[in-house]
């Protein structure tokens, strides 16, 4: 217990409340929660565990599964055998039981005595064949389309446990979506395509890099295999992280695009069970749903399709730049707020949200 100002020697025995009370207030002021740590954000959502919402989990697994299957196929094709090492099983990989064009050819070239410079052309051609065989024309686009379509239709089917199937004709699918949602779906599809394409190119680059490095070091096939297992494990974790974040963003945009801002909608922040300090501070916060092109939109009080925290931070101090971040660099309320964020926004008509809030206050006072 902190002593009163007139009894505490730190106040110079002064009974003057004009001196003591402000100091006492400063000492006893409740500290605001600081920015979340990495461990706190990771604890909010288990990286390899399912999402608390079964519908969102289905969307995550569908998008993640496409990249996972591609990575397993590439690694199996390079090594010339189905891969089931403990490292990849723990990471969620499933073996691919299929022969594809170029199966084992990369490892066969590696075992020859040729110089790595002369092997580059052959490796590149075989790896390109493997990529084409494992990702037929349009498969990356189909994965991105599926991400966009599932996230938007989820709210139309009452958040069904099983996500709807990918429709074969993208433009036909567009016909059943309101015009106001088309832009949001194209945005989600474009982001999914960007990441899917990046996974293909980064995998090819990683393969060639490890092959050249291992060959120059005169390592044997066993050491090369260990190198590839480690690199593909990292690629798989990176893809998992992308799938979780992009699925959460797609779901938020799907929900926001399903309502007309002109009708007056409120989005209430629902914090996850293991929410980090930042998300807990946002719990029950109400945001007004506005159009993405609204010139009067306010980042602190409004939310819109496409709002995100990419490039922003919850930490007020930029250690790398050595200065304090300004407001434009700090997090603003949106879901997901950060990687591994499991919070979501609950949409209600503004009038309903107002009555609900008033009723909650009435119950609170009565108790």
pLDDT for 164 equals: 42
pLDDT confidence of residue 9 = 46
Rounded mean pLDDT of 339-357? 76
Give 365 or 156, the one with higher predicted confidence.
365
Q: Using a pLDDT cut of 70, give the percent of the chain over it.
A: 69
Q: Which residue has the tokens 């995998």?
A: 203
Looking at the predicted structure, is the pLDDT value of residue 19 above 70? no
Average pLDDT over residues 328-338: 91
pLDDT of 35 over the 90 cut: no
pLDDT at 25: 57
Determine if the peptide bond prior to 202 is cis (ω within 30°): no
- H or E, element range at 195: helix 179-216
pLDDT band at 54 (very low <50, low <70, confident <90, very high): confident
Asked whether the predicted pLDDT for residue 107 surpasses 80, the reply is yes
Using CA atoms in the order 256, 257, 259, 264, what is the torsion angle rounded to 10 degrees?
Answer: 60
To the nearest whole percent, how much of the chain has pLDDT over 90?
10
pLDDT of residue 285: 92
The whole-number average pLDDT for the span 342-356 is 75
67 sits in which H/E element: helix 54-79
Residue 208 tokens, joined = 């060639």
Query: What integer pLDDT is reported at residue 11 of this predicted model?
Result: 44
DSSP state of 314: S
Q: For the segment 184-212, what is each residue's pLDDT rounded down to a tens digit?
A: 667 677 778 888 888 888 998 888 888 88
**pLDDT tens, position by position, 198-251:** 888 899 888 888 888 888 888 888 888 888 888 988 898 899 888 888 888 888
pTM of the model: 0.71
Task: Give the whole-angstrom CA distance, residue 307 versus residue 286.
Answer: 15
pLDDT at 162: 37
Cβ atoms < 10 Å from Cβ of 124: 14
Measured distance CA(270)–CA(278) in Å, rounded: 13
Arithmetic mean of pLDDT, 103-119: 79
Q: Give Cα separations from 132 to 64, 197, 256 (angstroms).
A: 19, 12, 36
What is d(CA 327, CA 74) in angstroms, rounded to the nearest whole number? 44
Mean pLDDT of the chain: 75
Which is higher by pLDDT, 101 or 305?
305
- Name 318's bridge partners: 323
Give per-residue pLDDT as tens, 153-188: 655 554 333 334 444 444 444 444 555 556 666 767
Q: Is the pLDDT of residue 36 over 50?
A: yes
């Amino acid at each position: 217990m902190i002593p009163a100002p007139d009894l505490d020697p730190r106040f110079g025995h002064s009974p003057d409340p004009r001196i003591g009370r402000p100091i006492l207030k400063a000492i006893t002021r409740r500290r605001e929660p600081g920015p979340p740590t990495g461990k706190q954000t990771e604890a909010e959502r288990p990286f390899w565990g399912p999402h608390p919402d079964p519908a969102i989990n289905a969307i995550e697994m569908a998008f993640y599964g496409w990249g996972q299957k591609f990575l397993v196929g590439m690694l199996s094709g390079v090594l010339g055998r189905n891969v089931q090492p403990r490292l990849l099983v723990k990471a969620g990989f499933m073996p691919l039981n299929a022969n594809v064009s170029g199966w084992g050819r990369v490892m066969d070239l590696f075992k020859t005595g040729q110089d790595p410079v002369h092997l580059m052309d052959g490796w590149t051609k075989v790896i390109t064949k493997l990529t084409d065989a494992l990702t037929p024309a349009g498969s990356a686009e189909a994965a991105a389309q599926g991400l966009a379509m599932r996230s938007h239709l989820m709210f139309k089917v009452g958040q069904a446990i099983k996500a709807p199937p990918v429709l074969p004709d993208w433009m036909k699918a567009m016909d059943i979506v309101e015009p106001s949602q088309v832009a949001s779906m194209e945005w989600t599809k474009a982001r999914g395509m960007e990441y899917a394409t990046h996974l293909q190119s980064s995998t090819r680059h990683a393969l060639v890099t490890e092959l050249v490095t291992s060959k120059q070091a005169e390592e044997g096939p066993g050491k090369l295999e260990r190198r590839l297992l480690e690199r593909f494990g990292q690629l798989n974790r990176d893809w998992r992280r992308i799938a979780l974040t992009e699925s959460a963003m797609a779901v938020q945009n799907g929900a926001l695009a399903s309502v007309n801002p002109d009708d007056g909608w409120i989005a209430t922040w629902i914090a996850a069970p293991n929410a980090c300090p930042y998300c807990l501070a946002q719990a029950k916060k109400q945001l007004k749903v506005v159009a993405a092109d609204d010139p009067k939109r306010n980042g602190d009080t409004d939310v819109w399709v496409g709002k995100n925290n990419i490039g922003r931070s919850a930490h007020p101090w930029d250690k790398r730049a050595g200065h304090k971040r300004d407001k434009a660099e700090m997090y603003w309320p949106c879901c997901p707020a950060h990687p591994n964020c499991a919070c979501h926004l609950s949409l209600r008509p503004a009038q309903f949200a107002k009555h609900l809030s008033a009723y909650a206050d009435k119950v609170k006072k009565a108790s």
